[in-house]
Structure 1
Amino acid sequence: MIATILRHAPADRRASIAVWRQLTDILAQRGNQLSDDDIRRSFHALSVLRPQVPENIRRDCASAVAGHGRFAPLVAFYANDVPAVSAAMLGRARLSDADWAALLPATGAMARSILAGRSDLSEAVRRALVSLGAGSVALPQPEVASEAAPPPIADEVVTAAPAGTGPSQISELVRRIDKYQSTRSQPSMQPSSASPEPRAPRAAFLFETGPDGVINWIDGIMRGAAIGLSIAEAAYGDEPGTDGVAAGAFRHRAEIINARMVLAGTPAESGEWRFSALPWFDPATGQFRGYRGSARRPRGNEIPYGRPASLDSVDPGDSIRQLIHELRSPLNAISGFSQIISSQMFGPVSGAYRAMADTIIADSASVESIIDDLDTATRIEPTASIAPATGEITDIAMVMAHVESDLAPLLSEQHIDLSISRVGGPFLARSDDANSRRMIGRLLTALVDVSETGAVLVGQLVVEPEHDDMLQLRIVRPVAIRFATATDLLDPGFSPDGEAPGAAILSLGFSLRLVDSLARSAGGRLDIGHNALTLHLPSANPSGNVELDVKLGE
């Protein structure tokens, strides 16, 4: 049958599509029964036809055969197509553990990320994914709109992280920041006598990459330290990866000599390496197949003075800050293009598109604020309690007025009233204006998010004569958290009844921890009492000049 299909070359695009469908169907159903020569000829034909077959046709074919296909070479062929086609196949393909183990090293990072989002793979396959460097959270899979009605089987394609089944990427980032802060604030533990002795640092290893530059074979160190890293792209800063020398040589298929590589992992493998590699080509076809090389530890004269030779001395918060940077970059691009559309810089734009652009700009500003909070959380020392070196003094009453004005749309949307009375005065604090706004704004926003519709959020801004070293902003607990313990309120996973939908982005626990960290960096603190939450800020009022004048706010 294969010989019959391939007897004549397809005459036009329609014939190419027909041959593509036929070969895909035969390989999916009878691939394990075909001869090696028929399999080889079929895949050669598919490789030749792929540029002539539209992406949506390839995607539909992948969706149609993924559920019942058991032929691993066909799954591997589709897995190395564009992301939309790869996702359609890998989202539902069913293979044995042995087939997955043989297929995974030949897949790219995107394909492995798609597989990492599946919940039906065996533990052995998941361990293989981890060893190859697949992320613990799958990347979002592409959403493709089809002109024709999709086949019934397409509705069953598994997508990564469905709503309600796991934390969002930002929630996962919050969890990582919280873990980082908690471990940084704890004293280092001395290893017990029962702990195994650390392995001696490795001095050299061999490796091999595929044609995409991703390391897929290693000998001499643990696989997880290097498998999945790419020599085709330069890594950012001290993140695991290689330098620009290797990336440039890879583009020209040139020899790589003493390029820099950084690995993460156990002390035995982590740190800087120097590697050299040669490209290799298929003897039969001349096709580029990747690089083969060796790596060694750098000599003393190859490391600049003062640079750590190991990643152990690198701040673990750097990786989180790099992730925040990667979130911020596309967000700025989206916001910038939306502003171009909204302002009609390149010509007239319809009202509907301008309205959509304005919505995107507003949403981008909200996400930017969240990213700023995440960035701040990684930079604050959890035990810091030092007044600002600048000695800046801020009028907290004015800050409160600005925050109340900023919160007016949110309060109106959720039908919540905010009533903060002023007791005493003046309300001068030793804190800079930006951090004061962030502390008070984040505290009030978090409490508004957990307040019931129609509720009144009541509080006081107080200066007490007997405690004039501190200003106090007291907010009565909303009903939803009236009886919650302090431990619950500081838990990023805590979700009180009545919590507003927007509160799930940055949890109440994360927000309260951020406020407390900012307050302590200014010499204050956040107290969680039985009836109220109290933000303390160091007072800058002249001693003895505190007036007891009650000013009622709206």
Structure 2
Amino acid sequence: MIATILRQAPADRRASIIAWRQLSDILAQRGNQLSDDDIRRSLHALAVLRPRVPESVRRDCARAIARHGRFAPLVALYANDVPAVSAIMLREARLAEADWLALLPATNAMARSVLAGRTDLPHGVNRALASLGSASVALPQPEVVEQEAPAPAQPIAPEPVAADAPSQISELVRRIDKYQSTRAQPGPSRAPRAAFLFETGPDGVIHWVEGVTRGAVIGLSIAEAAFGGEPGTDGVAAGAFRQRAEIINARMLLEGTAADAGEWRFSALPWFDPATGQFRGYRASARRPHRNEMPYGRPAPEDSGDSIRQLIHELRSPLNAISGFAQIISGQMFGPVSSGYRSMAETIVGDAASVQSIIDDLETAARSGTARVDAPSEEVVDIGAIVTQVESELADLLADQRVDLSISRVGGPFLGHSSDADVRRMVGRLLTALVDVSEPGAILVGQLVTESRHDDMLQLRIVRPATIRFATSAELLDPGFSPEGEAPGAAVLSLGFSLRLVDSLARASGGRLDIGHNALTLHLPSANSKAEAGLEAQQGE
């Protein structure tokens, strides 16, 4: 069976997916019974196939084989996939203690952080994780892993992989979030915090904090100086760390909410194991700088709105050129083109349109950070009709995710004050984000509500999917949050970013996005009372 699979080189994406599923299932069930040569060739084939197999398929496979994943080499291969895939495997895999100990050196910091959260691992594995120090719980920076090219003798050969196009957009998302985080967020304002405590491991990475949001500090290193306005510490801390010396009033820069972001001063003492004398890290306290510690004449923070818009322009220009050439090929404007090339060109046109939509969302998010909230628009749109159209446009996504969408109507009519384009973007982005985080087979239930024609607001209520049923409001608005704990690699824009975008657009229209315990509710200004008044005036005449 496995020899047959390896002999057939997958000709297209569908064949690659089938081969991935078959090889994963065989190794999970009978890996310990195969010969060393079959194991080596199978793992090599999976490594070659991985770039061609969608992340959603790899997640489904990991979920299917995780509970009976007792073949250590296969667990190691999945553990070194993107976080959304590896976390599923590592939370459920059952290996012998010797296999776990052999696997640990080949795992990254994110994988070890998942294992550190398990309570069912053998005692020896927990001791091994503890001996690795803070690396087992640190939040690592994303790394780009190059796939090894296969030997010419192998029947399955990798296709040329283009440069990682989403990386620029992901960086753009990070920059926009940095820009937005310095502005006031919806809800009650919070005063900047005054002090906090933290500890590092022997590598200088902060692994424990009390007094500020964990995400703003965990994973930063005091062993290396940060430059260019990036979060981190200055050279004073890095120099003292190398000497294992006391750190006094070193500078630290944080990002995050208004309560956490900005400059801090911290002092720290090294601590050592009393029994062995081994260096264990630093224990520190941080405070806001005094007025006399701030440099005079410091320029105001650079407004990154212009630079973000410039980067968006730089992304859009080549994208338009690529899409234009693809349309020329698919339309055979310069002469006949083979069906294979036309199919490729049509795929490029579709992908370019998807990326264009993402860029439009990013531009809207960048603009909303400085835009003044205006009075509700005088334009009247039929929100009920727009919701129906969006439901129809999401049919392919719903089928691919195996999710059902059911939005009922309560009351009516559903006329609102906003622009047609903004309502389409708000409803489309909200539903798409919730479908993306729904489990296969789930039903996404919602209501479009206007309880009275004189209500000021229309409401689109969507019941929380089970994967985010117990997530807090802060977690849902965090661009790094998803049910797997990381932004999904399959979605360039995360759930948190999408919800922030919807809320920004709604507030610009005079509405808002509420995150309740059971549902997410989009409020939009109602035009029903005005329409009713006009109808009554006509009847009076």
TM-score, length-scaled by structure 2: 0.47
